[in-house]
Structure 1
Amino acid sequence: MLSGLSDWFWRERLWFPEGLGWADLEDRDGRVYAKAHDLWVALPIAVVFLIIRQIFERTVATPLASLFGVKETVRLKVPHNPTLESYYCNMTKNPTQTSIASLCKQTGCSERHVQRWFRRRRNQDRPSLLKRFREASWRFTFYLLAFIAGLAALIDKPWLYDLKEMWQGFPVLTLLPSQYWYYMIELGFYGSLLFSVASDVKRKDFKEQIVHHVATILLISFSWCVNYIRAGTLIMLVHDSSDYFLESAKMFNYAGWRNACNYIFIVFAAIFIITRLVIFPFWIIYCTWVYPVTMYEPFFGYYFFNGLLMTLQCLHIFWAVLIIRMAIRFLTHNEKVDDERSDKDETDESEEEEECDKKDLKKNGPVQNGHAVHNNNHSKTE
């Protein structure tokens, strides 16, 4: 059954124009072509990236954060309360007023105590500035090196300057060593991002990020299998060209370097708009959507490949709206640039809650550690 399903899935009519097939990609006369089984190499590379990231964050990113003045955030620890903890983990992190009243009856705590417990518990789950700085510095390092490596691999290639060249001789396009490693490293990196998504900082566009990672992995894998290598390298280069500016802006933002963050963000916004909203749709997608049909009849692989590109383009538009909104606010009101996806809300709210807790401690006395107090004098210990 599996063999029959595999044969159906890899039918030549699905992935190649009429008259072409897998036999055209057999190695011969010293010419090497991409093979589907090569993609397994990306799995150990992804694991290596996860290991390198841990080493990098400890030995490079943490000292760099200290140099930038970024320190670990000290959170007020919530007193242990099984009832509230169970509600927090299994129901919601933001209980309604009715739920708070019910919890007060169950625990014998005052409404103020329950509200403060949930605020402090949410604070404990929020990532610290140091964690965000280390994550941003890791991505900055990879995206910068990937862009430099991609540019070096493509600088002497004719399809970098004339996009129609990406289809000349398709699908019989010889695989170069630089293309092989460019693909495997990029695929391994995005695989590592997908593996680490549970532990990374979660933002409001978490679902969009998952869609982006999956679409990117599918796009890279598919373009490799059917030898869309030239188009794939151009797409990866375009995406890497702006990302390191964003990550560097985040680093300066977490360090409190407002001017550096703002101006780097403006550079990022300009490059993002040019590459993702102009070059990507009107040059690259045009040459993958319009030009190929002048050479052969459309087939499933043609629609599948361009469908993935359109998915990425929709995400580009989604992020461009956020980026333009932040850029306009900075240019017109000279406000601080903050990540609208979550960083601003989490940081500001976290600070306000900590300040509120400190005021409460000064006014009402220290919060008792350990189990919540279940007596009529609980208000004295809030």
Structure 2
Amino acid sequence: MTSSISAWIWSERFWLPENVSWADLEHPPPGVEYPRVGHILYALPLAVGVFLLRLLFERLVAKPCAHILQIQAGVPRQAQPNAVLERLYLSKTCPDMRQLEGLSKQLDLDVRKIQRWFRIRRNQDRPSAQKKFCESMWRFTFYLGIFIYAIRHLWVSPWMWDTRQCWHNYPFQPLSPGQYNHYVAELAFYWSLMFSQFTDIKRKAAKLANYAKYQRLCDGLFVVFSISFFLTRLVIYPFWIVYSVLFESWEIVGPYQAWWLFNGLLLVLQTLHIIWFYLITRIAIKAIFKGKVSKDDRSDIESSSDEEIYSSCSKNPSQTLNAKTSSPTGNLNGETHDH
């Protein structure tokens, strides 16, 4: 059964043009190397090394840079230990009004004090600006380095200037050391994210300036980003890459089953580029009228205060009303009065 599943996944009729088999790619001419499926496995041990390198980079490079820029880790306020509230928090960080009222009766505490405990407890789990800065700096450094390496390799490649050469004698095309190093490094990097995807904070490289409170630099980087996004995603990508895969490959190689999949995915990505650029344009328009870059609509919402976190969890305005009309009946987090 395993062999049949493998044969279905790696079907030659699907992935390769007519009259080409995997065996044909196993025996290249002397001194020539073809891409192999086994090359994917080489990136696995390298991914572990990339992950360890990231830990060293964040500790030895990014964190000292954060100190120089006066980006502090910060110590969030600690919530008063409470086993009942902590048990509910582990299953639901934003309890609804029914649960709050039940806790109020069970613990003999004011609803608003319980709401405040949950706000403080959520803040404890929020990553600090320093942690966000370190993660963003690591990604920025890798992307910048791999971009420079790729441009250096592409610049001397003949198919960089004549995309039709990408399809001559396809798929029997030599694999250069530069291509191999680039793709294995990229694959190892993204596989290394599998080890940290549950703890990473997704941030953009321009966030570095934001965390350092350099508003002018942040605005300038946004302008550079917008221009580069437009040129690469809405000009070079559709009129150079998609055109070559869609039309030049049809003319030189001819369509096969995987050809339809590849082009379909490329067109879906182009649709996303248009949507993303629309959101970027909205931010740019707001920046023109407000004088600075506003919040990125594509990013996850980052609350800047306890009240913002609280309001994002409140689904019913009556929660606040009920909380305000309740009388204080207990002391939580060392507070005896509502404010």
TM range (shorter): 0.7 to 0.9
1:270 alignment partner AA: I
**Deviation readout 1:109-164 (Å, 9 max, x if unpaired):** 11121110111111112111001100110011001100100011111112212222
**Deviation readout 1:34-92 (Å, 9 max, x if unpaired):** 110111111111111110010000000000011112111221011122222222221x3
Structure 1 residues 81, 202: closer, same or farther in 2, change over 3 A? farther
Mark the runs of 5 or more structure 2 residues left unpaired by the alignment.
311-327
Question: How do residues 190-339 of structure 1 correspond to structure 2 at under 5 angstroms?
Answer: 190-201=190-201, 246-247=204-205, 249-339=206-296
1:275 alignment partner AA: T
In the superposition, the TM-score normalised over structure 2's length comes to: 0.86
Question: How do residues 348-359 of structure 1 correspond to structure 2 at under 5 angstroms?
Answer: 348-350=304-306
Question: How do residues 12-161 of structure 1 correspond to structure 2 at under 5 angstroms?
Answer: 12-25=12-25, 26-90=27-91, 92-161=92-161
> Structure 1 or 2: larger helix share?
1
1:56 alignment partner AA: F
Structure 1 residues 86, 283: closer, same or farther in 2, change over 3 A? same
State yes or no: 1:346 paired with 2:299.
Answer: no
Aligned length: 317
Deviation at 1:12, TM superposition (A): 1.9
2: CA distance between counterparts of 1:150 and 1:144? 10
Query: 1:11 — aligned with what?
Result: 11
2: CA distance between counterparts of 1:176 and 1:352? 53
Query: 1:381 — aligned with what?
Result: 336
2: CA distance between counterparts of 1:73 and 1:318? 37
Contact kept in structure 1, 2:57 and 2:138, CA below 8 Å = yes
Report runs of 4+ in structure 1 exceeding 4 Å deviation: 350-354
2: CA distance between counterparts of 1:71 and 1:312? 38
2: CA distance between counterparts of 1:161 and 1:293? 19
Deviation at 1:6, TM superposition (A): 2.0
Contact kept in structure 1, 2:209 and 2:215, CA below 8 Å = yes
Structure 1 residues 341, 104: closer, same or farther in 2, change over 3 A? farther
Contact kept in structure 1, 2:167 and 2:252, CA below 8 Å = no
Structure 1 residues 71, 347: closer, same or farther in 2, change over 3 A? farther
Structure 1 residues 342, 297: closer, same or farther in 2, change over 3 A? closer
Contact kept in structure 2, 1:326 and 1:337, CA below 8 Å = yes
Structure 1 residues 96, 77: closer, same or farther in 2, change over 3 A? same
Contact kept in structure 2, 1:167 and 1:292, CA below 8 Å = yes
Structure 1 residues 314, 349: closer, same or farther in 2, change over 3 A? farther
2: CA distance between counterparts of 1:315 and 1:81? 46
Structure 1 residues 293, 72: closer, same or farther in 2, change over 3 A? same
Deviation at 1:351, TM superposition (A): 7.9
2:178 alignment partner AA: S
User: Equivalent residue of 2:199, what SS?
Assistant: coil
Structure 1 residues 79, 314: closer, same or farther in 2, change over 3 A? farther
2: CA distance between counterparts of 1:281 and 1:78? 52
Contact kept in structure 1, 2:246 and 2:263, CA below 8 Å = yes
Contact kept in structure 2, 1:261 and 1:337, CA below 8 Å = no
Contact kept in structure 2, 1:57 and 1:138, CA below 8 Å = yes
1:173 alignment partner AA: Q
Once the two structures are overlaid, the 10-residue window that deviates more, 40-49 or 187-196, is 187-196
Q: Give aligned-pair identity as a percent.
A: 41
1: CA distance between counterparts of 2:93 and 2:234? 38
Query: 2:320 — aligned with what?
Result: none
1: CA distance between counterparts of 2:113 and 2:194? 39
2:13 alignment partner AA: R
What CA RMSD, in Å, does the superposition of the two structures yield over aligned residues? 2.3
Deviation at 1:23, TM superposition (A): 3.6
Deviation at 1:315, TM superposition (A): 3.8
Structure 1 residues 42, 328: closer, same or farther in 2, change over 3 A? same
Structure 1 residues 178, 13: closer, same or farther in 2, change over 3 A? same
